[in-house]
Amino acid sequence: MTDRTLTAAVEPETTVTVMGWIHEVRDLGGIAFVLVRDRSGLIQVKIEKEELDEALTERALGMARESVIAVTGSVAEEPRAPTGVEIVPVAIEEVAAAEANLPLDPSGKVDAELSTRLSNRTLDLRRPEVAAIFRIRGRVLEAARAALREADCTEITTPKIVATGTEGGTELFPITYFGEEAFMNQSPQLFKQLIAGSSLERVFEIGPIFRAEEHNTPRHLNEATSIDFEGAFFDADSAMSLVEDVVAATYEAVAHECQDALTTLDIEGFEPPSRPFPRLTYADAIDQINETGALADELAWGDDLPTEAERALGAAMGEHYFITAWPSEIKPFYIMDSEADATISTGFDLMHPRMELVSGGQREHRYDALVAGFEQQGLDPRQFEYYTEMFRYGMPPHAGWAIGGERLLMTMLGVDNIRETVLFPRDRQRLSP
C-alpha cells in the first residue's frame, strides 16, 4: 500500500491510487459521483456511465456507504469538486464491504445521541469534527510533555495497582491482587513525591487515574488522564509559574499547529490565554462569590466551592486564574500549611472560567508534621509507611500539581461534555466498549 496517495495530496494531470471510505454516492442519471474520504479529507470520483466499463460502473454504484475502497485513475481539474479536482477511475476495488444499515451516520447529516456515538466509536471517529478533537488532544499532550522536558523534568511511570488509596478515601476501585486486596490508583501523588526526593528532583507523568466517584455530570469521569508534576526545591509560587507555562504551551501549540482541526470545529480567533494568570486568595474568592448573589446561601470560611460558585466566579474573572491560600482543613494531608498562619495552606487551584483545571501546592516535607497531618484527617499513618518512611531520610522541600487532561481539552475547545474528549470514556453507566 506504499503507492497510496492521500486525497489532500492529489494533483491534476497525475495518475493516483486513493484508498478510503465511501462517504457518499450521488447518482444523477447519466453521471454519478462517489465521494471518497480518508484522514486528509474528501475527493470526488467521477462516474460517466456511458464512457466507463459497465462492470466498473456497477461496482462503483453498488457498494454501500462506509465500505473501504481503492480507486485508481487519472486526475483532472474540476472547480466544482470539494478539492478542485476529481478522479476519472480506471479501476475500483472493494477492500472491505460495509453493511447497508449503519448504527449512525458518519456524514453527520443525521444526528445521533451521545450514547449511540460512544457505543459505535469507530464510526463516530470517521466524522471530521470528532476526529479533530483527538488530533488536538494528541498535540496538547505532546506540548505539555515538551514543556515539562524543557523545564528539566524527567518523565516517570508510577504504579496503577496500589495497596492503599493515595488520599485514604473510600472512593477507590478495589481489585484482587494474588489473593490480597488492592486498588486502582487515584493519583500518582505519593509516588511522585518519593521520586522528587531522589536525585531526579523534577519529575512528571502523563497517565490514567481512577476515581470511584458516583458523579454523573458532564465534567466527571471515572478514568481520566492526569498531567502530574512534582519538583524538589519548588514552592507554591514556582509551581504555579510552571503550570502557567505548561498550560500556555498547550494553547500555543494548538494555535500554531492545529488550524485545520480548529477550522473543522468552527473555532475562530483561538488564542493562548493572557499571562500572568491573576491570583486571588480563597478569602477573596469567597467574598466575590457572595457578592454575585448567585448562591441561595452565602459561603463561609472552610466551605468548598460548589459548581455554581465556580461558575459565578469564573464569569466575573473571565479568564484563567489561581485561587490560593486555601484553608488547611479542606486540603489533603500532604499539603503544607503556611508558616505564617497554620489555618491557611500553601495549596492552590488553577481555574478556568468554567471549572477547576489544576490542584497543587507545596508539600509537607517534615516527617513529624506529615504524620500529624495523617492523624488530623483520621488516617492511619501506618498504612502509608512506604511513603512516610522516606521522609526520615532527608526529604527536600517540594511542590507539585496535577492537570486534568480532559478538562484542559474540554475548556480549550468549548466542549460541553467531557466524554467527547475521551475515545472510550468510563463512567457509572459505561464499561464497554
Q: What is the pTM of this model?
A: 0.93
pLDDT for residue 405: 98
* CB burial string 137-172: b at 16+ within 10 A, e below: bebbbebbbebbeeeebeebebeeebebbbbbeeeb
Pick the CATH number of 123-278+319-421 from 3.30.1360.70, 3.30.930.10, 3.30.70.20, 3.30.43.10: 3.30.930.10
Q: What number is the average pLDDT over the span 191-207?
A: 97
pLDDT for residue 2: 63
Residue 167 binned pLDDT confidence (cut-offs 50, 70, 90)? low
Of 357, 381, 408, 325, whose CA–CA distance to 141 is shortest?
408
Q: What number is the average pLDDT over the span 209-219?
A: 91
Integer-rounded Cα radius of gyration of the chain: 27
Q: Which pLDDT tens digit goes with each residue over 22-47? A: 999 999 989 999 999 999 999 999 99
pLDDT for residue 1: 58
Strands 398-404, 355-362: pairing kind: antiparallel
How far apart CA 423 and CA 143 sit, in angstroms, is: 19
Strands 202-210, 398-404: pairing kind: unpaired
Average pLDDT of the chain is 94
Q: For cell 494533483, what's the residue?
A: 11
Integer CA distances (angstroms), 378 to 108, 109, 189, 385, in order: 53, 56, 19, 16
| pLDDT above 70 for 169 | no
Helix axes 128-150, 236-257, angle to 10 degrees: 140
pLDDT for residue 380: 84
| pLDDT above 90 for 13 | yes
Would you list the domain boundaries of the chain? 7-96, 123-278+319-421
pLDDT for residue 107: 86
Q: Give the number of other Cβ atoms within 10 Å of residue 290's Cβ.
A: 16
| pLDDT above 80 for 165 | no
User: Quick one: how far is CA 391 from the chain centroid?
Assistant: 33
The phi-psi region of residue 4 (left if phi > 0; otherwise alpha if psi is between -120 and 50; otherwise beta) is: beta
Residues 6+ apart with CB under 8 A from 26: 32, 33, 34, 35
pLDDT for residue 215: 84
For the chain, give the number of residues: 433
Q: What number is the average pLDDT over the span 70-80?
A: 95
The CATH number of the structural domain formed by 7-96 is: 2.40.50.140
Residues 6+ apart with CB under 8 A from 358: 243, 247, 348, 349, 350, 401, 402, 403, 404
Integer CA distances (angstroms), 19 to 16, 67, 99, 382, in order: 10, 11, 18, 61
Q: Which pLDDT tens digit goes with each residue over 316-339? A: 999 999 999 999 999 999 999 999
CB 374 within 8 A of CB 339: no
* CB burial string 107-126: b at 16+ within 10 A, e below: beeeebeeeebbbbeebbeb
How far apart CA 118 and CA 342 sit, in angstroms, is: 47
